[in-house]
């Protein structure tokens, strides 16, 4: 990883977009598909964060999936939202702990999505 003082916007946005895209793919393959907004040029980050926050809120109400998958979606969404917050905090005041927190949040977001990925591979449409 780069020295924290030399981080650029793309160092944050690329993993955020990649993970959001994974969440969107998984959600589109649930028993009752959830369509998250597509990432396009000009889309506001607030549109994406609002969608992921709604996903976290309803993750325990999605029919046809196990509790492990519900927990997977909730945890992954919440970790992604924390990473977004840390990115914006870093833009305001760059600190090493924000970069470390961002990295840890993204690692947790990715790893916690494993149960949902396995479920989709076995059961997704």
* 42 or 110, which is more confident: 110
**What is the rounded distance in angstroms from the CA atom of residue 91 to the CA atom of residue 86?**
9
pLDDT given at position 82: 98
Q: Indicate the average pLDDT of the chain.
A: 91
Query: What does the DSSP 8-state code read for residue 38?
Result: P
- In the chain, the percentage of residues whose pLDDT exceeds 90 is 77
> 3-state DSSP helix/strand/coil percent for the chain, to nearest 5?
75, 0, 25
Rounded to whole angstroms, what are the CA distances from 40 to 8, 23, 75, 120?
A: 20, 16, 25, 25
Rounded to whole angstroms, what are the CA distances from 94 to 4, 77, 100, 101, 106?
A: 8, 24, 11, 12, 18
What pLDDT band is residue 3 in, cutting at 50, 70 and 90? low
- Put residue 64 in one of left, alpha, beta given phi > 0 → left and psi -120 to 50 → alpha: left
pLDDT in tens, 6-47: 667 678 888 999 999 999 999 999 999 999 999 987 788 899
pLDDT given at position 31: 93
């Amino acid at each position: 990883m780069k020295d924290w003082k030399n981080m650029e916007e793309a160092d944050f946005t690329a993993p955020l977009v990649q993970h959001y895209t994974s969440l969107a793919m998984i959600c589109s393959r649930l028993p009752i598909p959830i369509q998250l907004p597509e990432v396009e040029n000009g889309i506001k980050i607030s549109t994406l964060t609002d969608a992921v926050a709604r996903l976290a809120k309803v993750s325990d109400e999605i029919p046809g999936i196990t509790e492990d998958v519900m927990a997977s979606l909730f945890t992954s969404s919440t970790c992604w939202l924390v990473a977004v917050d840390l990115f914006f905090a870093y833009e305001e005041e760059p600190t090493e702990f924000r970069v470390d927190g961002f990295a840890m949040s993204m690692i947790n977001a990715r790893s916690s999505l494993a149960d949902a990925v396995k479920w989709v591979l076995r059961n997704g449409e």
